[in-house]
A and B are shown apart, each in its own frame.
Chain A
């Protein structure tokens, strides 16, 4: 089988070379240089226009390189990327996130950028330290941060005013949040105070777990934190809201995702990321009606901080051009373009452009939140226990089992998976 794998790889290599010759090899009549097309895989449809623009901007300074932005929706992105990478056909440059980075880097799927960073004297201190560290493995850097995101409470001002509820204060607490949710809930109008989403832990559970003083995974990455009573308190925050009717139940949220409900005024407070800006400013309903407040304080203040990086495939046929593109995407010039039209850029000093690009929202909230950000919980194979989180907690979300019981089952399964990572 070894042999056939190698033969397959060789065949694939031949195909790639052939396709590279036929596709990209059109000679530029004027310069006589080969035109190159770099594929660039992304998952966010709302960022597609700005990514296309960055691609064109790069082509202006590198006329022989064209950027082909390839969108795969979030739900398929990792499935497709893993299949492509395993077959040696990954895109030249692609988006990487924290949960998947170690899997790709440790399996030799990413090209180390260490040499190029040193050669070109790239200054990494312009990015927040936690984000640079997130994409470093065994001292080698594999990606340049593209953007960053923190979490806030998006709220519908019109619904607040209709119920005469004071807008969230900067230093509000869990109790304030819960009482606001109670007052904003209006069963007759089908309006819920908030949405206790199960599918997106980054927006909901990971924040409340940290705010309650709990943890998802131990700092050394060896043990699950789901059996910690403080972690469970962070989960109960949400199941209590469902039980009290302040949030749609899990069945309703399965049929209609809470984001859609928020965008038609059926949910008053939506825990969302800084990446939602593009969507909420484009939507005619939310544009004038919603604003953002910091997350409420539990035992302490906390928000998950995370950022996407641009990485280069280990099998790219154009490593130099791919690096130049990644370097451009991490530059101040690109960050300024990104900030005006896309998510919060990671490049220090460029967030102001992002904040002022959307005066209709109080985006300073997300930038200030970086100060009390906690890292996104990851291990070598994060995806494995992410599946367990949903399998076990879905039963607590429906009320089928108490949240303590679901969390205990999850902790046991997660510990088993973590111990398998080390073997």
Chain B
């Protein structure tokens, strides 16, 4: 707290003219401290919640990643052993590749959301509310229910999708049991269920673009398509940037879909596509709660934390190339 107060002082000194009168007539030091204390008091409920439920667990997890756990709790210090194991574990490598693949496929949902948002944003579109509701429905549906329904649709022998394909003479694969298709099948569900959320954000972004730009473009003779590429897209880039950050973080943490569609624990390993479906968070869950290898599981999520931080940092650096703030 003192640190923040002092840096606040420093900024005030730098910015203030030398002959400035104290802002608080009741005495500079005490008034400012009291004001700061009130400020902290007001943010305390959130701050304490953040510290207790987020920061403390993060620190604890980092500590646990340096320990080994018994089956029912109790742990001993093992230093960097878990990280050495991590580097040599082929399952970790596979889970990383799968997770990154899923994340890349998930980004394909962003252009899709922009196109649908543009279509829904047309003036005079009839039933726009109905469409918006329909698109948003998967977002408010329980992920487990979504995954269950898709699991049935994807069934290789009796699923609706393959039945439809058989009508046109195509012999569909076992979507979530075939190593060649499993990851794509999973990503398709992820994109489908995330579409509504992205779409709503893009719609809001589009509606924030001032009408004057379009009028000016029209006067210059630009058609609807040109307007979309020259006006809408560039001015939407800050929104797209936000969505891409959220989407990447969400994809890297993929769990519920895989948990329901592929299962967990030993039984999931009877699925031949399991090596293509296992994600980092699912591996973490398996190690933490199925085999009770808590220390190793902690090391896995610390690795994930570093990965997310690195990916987000890279995205922030790259934004200078493509994001336009109006």
Question: Which residues in A have some Cβ–Cβ distance to B below 8 Å?
Answer: 1, 5, 75, 78-79, 82-83, 85-87, 103, 107, 109, 190, 198-199, 250-256, 381, 383-384, 386-387, 389-391, 394, 397-398, 400
Contact = CB atoms under 8 A, between A and B. Distances in A.
Interface residues on B, range: 20 to 34
Interface stretch (B15-23, B70-78, B210-218, B307-315): B70-78
Nearest to A399: B272
Contacts of B269: 387, 390-391, 394
A383 B75 CA distance: 20
A82 B270 contact: no
Nearest to A9: B73
A389 B75 CA distance: 28
Given A107-B72, A255-B157, A387-B269, 8 more contacts: A5-B74, A82-B72, A251-B177, A252-B157, A386-B266, A387-B266, A389-B266, A394-B272
A82 B292 contact: yes
B174 interface: yes
B71 A82 contact: yes
A390 B155 contact: no
> B-side binding surface: helix, strand, loop or mixed?
loop
Interface of B: 63, 70-75, 154-159, 174, 176-178, 263-267, 269-274, 289-292
Given A79-B290, A86-B73, A387-B291, A255 B265 contact: no
Contacts of B264: 75
Contacts of B72: 82, 85-86, 107, 109
> A-side binding surface: helix, strand, loop or mixed?
helix
Top 6 closest pairs, chain A to chain B, by CB: A390-B269, A254-B177, A251-B174, A251-B177, A86-B72, A199-B270
B290 A394 contact: no
A242 to B, nearest CB: 12
A251 B154 CA distance: 12
Given A5-B73, A394-B274, A383 B156 contact: no
B197 to A, nearest CB: 29
27 contacts: A1-B63, A78-B290, A79-B265, A82-B289, A82-B292, A86-B292, A107-B70, A107-B72, A251-B174, A251-B178, A251-B273, A252-B177, A253-B270, A254-B174, A254-B176, A254-B270, A255-B158, A256-B157, A381-B71, A383-B291, A390-B267, A390-B269, A390-B270, A394-B269, A394-B271, A394-B272, A400-B272
A72 B290 CA distance: 15
Nearest to A1: B75
Contacts of B63: 1
A255 B155 contact: yes
Nearest to A390: B269
Contacts of A251: 156, 174, 177-178, 272-273
Contacts of B266: 383, 386-387, 389-390
A2 to B, nearest CB: 9
Nearest to A264: B158
Nearest to A260: B158
B325 to A, nearest CB: 47
A255 B177 contact: yes
B263 A255 contact: no
A13 to B, nearest CB: 14
Contacts of A109: 72
Contacts of B74: 5
Contact of A254 (B70, B158, B271): B271
Nearest to A106: B71
A389 B269 CA distance: 9
A400 B75 CA distance: 40
B272 A250 contact: yes
Contacts of B271: 254, 394
Given A397-B272, A398-B272, A255 B174 contact: yes
Nearest to A384: B291
B176 A255 contact: yes
Nearest to B294: A86
B289 A79 contact: yes
A103 B72 CA distance: 9
A389 B265 CA distance: 13
Interface centre among B159, B263, B271 (most CB of A within 10 A): B271
Nearest to B173: A251
Nearest to B151: A255
Contacts of A85: 72
A401 to B, nearest CB: 12
A256 B63 CA distance: 43
Contacts of A387: 266, 269, 291
A381 B174 CA distance: 34
B156 A250 contact: no
A103 B292 CA distance: 12
A90 to B, nearest CB: 10
Contact of B270 (A190, A198, A383, A384): A198
